[in-house]
Amino acid sequence: MSAFVDIPLEPAGVPHGRAMVERAEWAARAFATYDIASVRRIAMAAAQAGEAHARQLADAAVAETGFGVAEHKFLKNVACSIGIWNTYADDDYVSPVIDQARKIVEIPRPAGVVFALTPSTNPVATVMFKIMLCLLTRNAIIVSPHPYAKRCSAEAARVMRDAAIAAGAPDGCIQVLEEPSIPLINALMTDERVDVIVATGGTPMVRSAYRSGNPAIGVGPGNVPVLVDATADIPAAAARIVASKSFDNSILCTNESVLIAEEAIAERLQQAMKREGASFLDEEQVARVCGVIFEQGHFNTAWVGKSAAQIAEAAGIKVPKGTLILVAPFDLVVPEQVLAHEKLCPVLGWVTVPNAARGISAAMAVLRITGAGHSAAIHSEDPGTIMEYASRVRVLRVAVNVGNSLGSAGIETNLAPTMTIGTGFFGRSSVGENLQPAHLVNRTRIACNADARMPMPDFSGLDAWQAPQGAVPAYPLASNAAGAPAIEPRTNGRGDAATMAGDGTDELRDEIRRMVIEELRQIIKG
């Protein structure tokens, strides 16, 4: 009888991935002891590095994916690097907070190891955004880029990693999967040392994250209705809507999907939008465009982030030079109408309604099809209409008199700036706000006796953390070094590696595989 125990061999890349998690866990333990001054120094250095490479990485993202507009991606990259730093530079997710009145002390505690799934649509901006949130909260992060954007995503992570480590961050606090694969993603999503998964992507990916057995923060799809009522500033509304719908060729999930115009101002709005670069399609042209961008009733992802001119050319229709968006009128907001669904390209549905009340009902119908919990927009000067709209549509953010692409994303409003939109209970998400640093921190609470006769101990001047002393500690053996040991498989407490086939991980793996293959198939068709 053999004296050796057979250990199931894991797919190529998985042992290396587990070593990355081990390294991240080590880095997270070290990072969790840093004080606020050290954290701010590290986060600022990473933000500045991201800003310095924002244009280069924007060009790289467009070149690799074929999606969007490089200039617009540059603006998002800046917003998600130095912009995030400027937003939260004065916030403190590290130091204890003393509440004398309630006799409670709160000690911030980072999650630990964050596994971040990022999309192909906004690859660099999302990588930068999630890294900044992790650095501000002393979390280690492993970035899992979409396979279609792996090179630009990896470069963005490396740029910020090098700057963070040079500023004193522990080695291993920022890592990226250079060659993401189904077995590797599955292994890391289910690894018990991952403390939270932050998933930005399609619905199947988000649901896979929730099914992994680890805590997850995921988001749902958008399908933004925008109502323009009779009180709106029509020229301003037209300019904002066209600029928003054309921003990065509509690749943000916050872009307007269906415009609902009150009859009294519909003709004026149409003319104003034409002056801003909108081309309105006739019935035959609508049919041609739908034949191009929809396939068997579903949006063809080959047209994600393509320009209005490219779509028009493929549909065999002529549009004026300088056309930024195509507007496709239709009559009824029903599930069978493809234009009532989300469109991540500069094609905007258009519905005319007799009054604002009917417009609100139409917006509610749009969100019943898809997009519940996400966002909506309205252009109006009537507070009563705005309040009724916001209280009836099933979303958790309503942008008023601003383009929704950047409005609901918090870049042109005072919402938290984000690349990850929480859809809450409406959208079956664990968060209902724009993702922000606070979502990656828990707090230990020291709760003293509430009896007024019992004095609260004096915690003033005390801090749980301190600046790291001496040289920045290096991980004993980098996981990508030759001869790095493979880490034994972890099982989340659901049995050993040989008996995991029946615990649902095979189903999870199949679900991830179907999601990635289907998206890539649709992209390649273009």
**So which residues are the catalytic ones?**
253
Position 387, amino acid: M
Residue with the two structure tokens 């921190």: 441
As a whole number of angstroms, the distance between CA 384 and CA 230 comes to: 13
CB 426 within 8 A of CB 396: yes
What's phi and psi for 259, nearest 5 deg? -95, 130
Helix residue ranges per DSSP H, 370-504? 383-392, 404-407
Q: Which two tokens stand for residue 343?
A: 């469109």
Tell me the residue ranges of DSSP E strands in 47-90.
none
CB 191 within 8 A of CB 24: no
Tell me the residue ranges of DSSP E strands in 191-308.
196-199, 216-218, 224-228, 256-262, 278-280, 294-295, 298-299
Cβ count within 10 A of residue 262 = 23
SS3 222: coil
Going by their DSSP bridges, the two strands 441-447 and 104-110 should be labelled as antiparallel
SS3 323: coil
- What lies within 8 Å, CB to CB, of 124 at 6+ separation is 57, 58, 60, 61, 73, 76, 77, 152, 153, 156
As a whole number of angstroms, the distance between CA 507 and CA 191 comes to: 16
Q: Which two tokens stand for residue 429?
A: 């998400």
Q: Which two tokens stand for residue 448?
A: 């003293």
Let me know the angle formed at the C-alpha of 349 by 344 and 355, rounded to the nearest 5 degrees: 140
Cα-Cα-Cα-Cα dihedral of 511, 512, 515, 517, to 10°? -110
Q: Which two tokens stand for residue 284?
A: 């035959």
Let me know the angle formed at the C-alpha of 338 by 332 and 340, rounded to the nearest 5 degrees: 50
Tell me the residue ranges of DSSP E strands in 406-500.
441-447
